[in-house]
Structure 1
Amino acid sequence: MSARTALGRAAAGAATALALLAACGEASPTPTPTQATTGPATTAAAAPEPTEPATAPPAASGAPSPSLLVTDFGADTVTFVDPAATGRAADLGSVRVGTAPYGLAVGPDGTAWVATAEGVAAVDTATRTRTALIPYRTRTGPVATGEYRGGGMGLALSPDGSRVYVGVNVPEGNGTLEVVDTATRTVTRVVPVGRRPFDVDVSADGRSVYVTDHDSFDVTVVPTATWEPRRIEVAPYGTEGGLGSWLKPHYTAVRPSDGALLVPFEGERLAVVDPATGRVAVEPMTADTHQHGVTVAPDGTLYVVGTGPIDPAVDAGPSLTVRRPDGTERLVPLDGPHETVTLSPDGRTAYVSGGYTREGGWNGLTLVDTATGRTTRLPVGRLPLAVAVLPSAPGR
């Protein structure tokens, strides 16, 4: 941690924090009861619907194939992207999926699963059509847009591709984890979790699902054998008083070597969570900036998106932290706030989304050469949040 303390931060910049971090919302000391409804164990499949074509035709024969898909939080679409192209040529057209799409995962068969405000959308990425919209069983209120909207947020696929796990936000209440059977395209289970489930991750063996709950300062561990949720508080700055109540978990990465959960905070502290015991260790970080998206390479190298300062007087600007397994860090400056990070299959490029939902978000990606730190801005989509690599995409 830097020399300043959380209380020092509050004295230096509480007013600035309130202006810049309304996105991170302040949880009430006693969360309101969940408004979820669990219903029966299974639901009827979503009614068949006409497929919705892309807004631009597929690439002509001989032209580059799209290799990325992004969710357009500022619209109702997902956009296909050719990261090898330049400028607007990289934007290869969009498919309507549902209001304010957030999390995204693509299965080996090329089906993309998208968390929207209305339900989980399924997209055939080969034909570029939406093939289903599976409504949530959780009551989330009227369909809305913006950072506090109800509906799906974090989303992940089980390792065998048989299930989609989506964190469903209930405004002003506790959220849920909804489980979708990818074969029948039905919601088969609803599990209570914490507030504003920003991220969902799955253990390598598929036996546990991890939901990062922003407004309740925790990660909910859900074993797939019992579906009994267990809360682990992850709050290295505390949960009350001063600025500590603003410094919350956003996104989590699962460390390949041991399955530990890696949760970064403020470019100062990395919470290392043992999901089996609930123990939380804290390691120092160096970026000194508010942090959101995170991913980890197979060798354990961690990539963390810094969105910018809470207080410009004492904090650093946006950056991408590249943290080696030994704890050494390299910082790559970014132009403006960003949200999430995804690696190319060969690990040579980090795709960092520009769709930060507060002031400063922009319509594009920043491509970071992970060896040199060289950055390239690519204008695509509408406030793109999540980025997925399509199965046929070659490494770059």
Structure 2
Amino acid sequence: MRFALNREEPEAARPNPAPAQTDPEAPAGEEPTAPATEPAGTRDPVVSLAKPVVVDRIELGREPEGVAVSPDNRTIYVADQDSTDVHFVDVESKQLSKVTVPNTPRFLALSADGSRLYVSLFEDNFTGNGLAVIDTAKRELVKTIRTGPRPFEPAVAPDGRVWVPIHNGARVEIYDDKSLTEAARISVPPNPHWIVFTPDGKTAFTANHESSQISVVNVDDLLVRKNFKVGRSPHALAVTPDGSKLVVTNYDVDTLEVYDTGDQRQLHKVRVGKEPQAVMISTDGRHAYVVNEGSDDLSVIDLGNGKVVSTVKVGDSPRVNAISPDGLRLYVTDGRGKTVTVLRTTEK
């Protein structure tokens, strides 16, 4: 998932049209109240497969890029970057609908309760820069916020605010989720692509592609505590569910690196496929799933020993991946293939 846990979220009716996951311990006849914000891996995580299995391919749009999964696992959201469409896909029926945004959609982030979808926008000539806000229940555009040039993968912080890495601005812009206006800025080395939070919400990391550095940001005071060197061209980041490891894909040198989140010492360096783009971690924290755009495959890394344990072919020019909160499915957008590859990541 691409949001951090908000530990103070009230138990309120959620605007997401689909119900929350059921709680097997809830009394009979009672509506389950398990919060949809609970991060994957905290409640009896399923055992992940060392070799995920392709179970479906969904034809979708003209060039699917960003992808996210609803907290109830029932809907996937896909940004089609050769159009102005954001697709909603019902996982069970494969029924499609879409919301049109003002400019080319690139990357996605969901609010913790799934009620809002945040979509970064920009054109190839660096115009049309913005963040579209979509109401997922009404399936309509709420607002478009103008941002700095080339906003990449947004991320939702524990307090609900939206952090947006501004690639051509060497900064992170932070937007208030209530007023939908800019609340703060953080300067980082050139040029940020990706943001992740530790599960406790205290620390954020940004992948700064052109400088080959990761920034360590204190979420409370928004100060950069440290910038540390990694492999060339870090593109995407992920943090294990227990918060102990930070995983980095290095696009130009075909490697994945694993770091200790506390002292940022390197634990593993692994050669993967060509041009690794995005990475997700299984809900049990055992495996990292790396999307390799240049070799049209998925590298699976055992995070215990830092070894590639399998390689799985996906569609043409895979870009971004997202794992369902229940840990059962991994979704990979295949840009030139015009599909979303669906993989089973457990025995279920």
Query: Shorter chain as normaliser: what TM range?
Result: 0.7 to 0.9
SS of the residue corresponding to residue 172 of structure 1 reads: coil
Which protein has the larger Cα radius of gyration, Structure 1 or Structure 2?
1
Partner of residue 288 from structure 1, selected from 203, 227, 231:
231
Q: Does 1:184 align with 2:138?
A: yes
Distance change in 2, residues 1:116/1:352 (3 Å): same
Q: 1:368 aligns with which of 301, 322, 326?
A: 301
- The answer to which structure has the higher strand fraction is 2
Percent of pairs identical after alignment? Answer: 27
- Equivalent residues of 1:218, 1:231 under 8 A apart: no
Separation (CA, whole Å) in 1 of partners of 2:156 and 2:139 = 19
Q: Cα RMSD between the aligned structures?
A: 2.3
Say which of 271, 295, 316 aligns to 1:333.
Answer: 271
Whole-angstrom distance in 2 between the partners of 1:200 and 1:83: 28
SS at match of 1:292: strand
Q: Quote the Cα distance in structure 2 between the aligned partners of 1:248 and 1:103.
A: 19
**Partner residue of 1:106 out of 56, 69, 75:** 69
Q: 1:258 to 1:129 in 2, by over 3 A?
A: closer
Bigger helix share = 1
The residue aligned with 1:323 is 259
Opposite residue 121 of structure 1, the aligned amino acid is: H
Residue 269 (structure 1) aligns with: 213
- 3-state secondary structure, aligned to 1:362: coil
Q: Is residue 241–residue 284 contact of structure 2 (8 Å, CA) maintained in 1?
A: no
How far the C-alpha of 1:99 sits from its partner, in A, is: 2.1
Calculate the TM-score normalised by the size of structure 2: 0.72
What are structure 1's unaligned runs of at least 5 residues?
A: 1-81, 141-150, 237-246, 309-316, 356-360
State the alpha-carbon separation in 1 of the partners of residues 196 and 269 from structure 2.
18
CA distance in 2, matches of 1:128, 1:83: 24
The answer to whether the 8 Å contact 2:106/2:121 transfers is yes
Residue equivalent to 2:55:
92
Question: Are residue 232 (structure 1) and residue 185 (structure 2) matched?
Answer: yes
Indicate conservation of the 8 Å contact 2:201/2:219, yes or no. no
Shift of 1:134: 0.6
Question: 1: distance between equivalents of 2:287 and 2:95?
Answer: 28
Q: Count the aligned residue pairs.
A: 274
Alignment of 1:257 with 2:200, yes or no, is yes
Aligned partner of 2:305: which letter?
T
The TM-score normalised by the length of structure 1 is 0.64
Which residue of the other structure, out of 283, 303, 309, is the alignment partner of 1:345? 283
SS at match of 2:154: strand
Q: Name the CA distance, whole Å, in 2 between partners of 1:284 and 1:109.
A: 35
Instruction: Tell me how far 1:264 sits from its aligned partner.
Output: 2.9
Alignment correspondent of 2:340? none
1:240-296 deviation per Cα after TM superposition (whole angstroms, max 9, x unaligned):
xxxxxxx411111123334432113368532123455442232323x4321101011
Does residue 223 of structure 1 match 2:186?
no
Q: Distance in 2 between matches of 1:391 and 1:276?
A: 26
Check conservation: 2:129, 2:148, Cα contact below 8 A: yes
Moved more, 170-179 or 218-227: 170-179
- Equivalent pair of 2:242/2:285 in contact (CA under 8 Å): no
1:380 to 314, 320, 335: 314
Q: 1:6 maps to which residue? A: none
Residue 390 of structure 1 corresponds to which residue in structure 2? 324
Note if 1:119 corresponds to 2:85.
yes
Aligned to 1:204: 158
Q: Deviations over 1:62-104 (max 9, x none)?
A: xxxxxxxxxxxxxxxxxxxx96667xxx433322332211111
SS at match of 1:173: coil
Q: Tell me by how many angstroms 1:303 deviates.
A: 0.6
Residues 185-226 of structure 1 show CA distances to partners (whole Å, capped at 9, x for unaligned) of 0001111112222111001242x0111121222211001122
Unaligned 5+ segments in structure 2 are: 1-47, 329-344
What CA distance in whole angstroms lies between the structure 2 residues aligned with 1:83 and 1:371? 14
C-alpha distance in 1, partners of 2:263/2:242? 11
**Residue identity matched to 1:186:** E
**Structure 2 CA distance, aligned partners of 1:385 and 1:283?**
26
Amino acid at match of 1:116: D
**Counterpart amino acid of 2:238?**
T
CA apart distance, 1:174: 5.1
Partner of residue 117, structure 2 = 164
Give the partner amino acid of 1:373.
Answer: G
1:302-317 equivalences in 2 (<5 Å): 302-308=246-252, 317=253
Counterpart of 2:312, as a letter, is: L
AA matched with 1:346: D
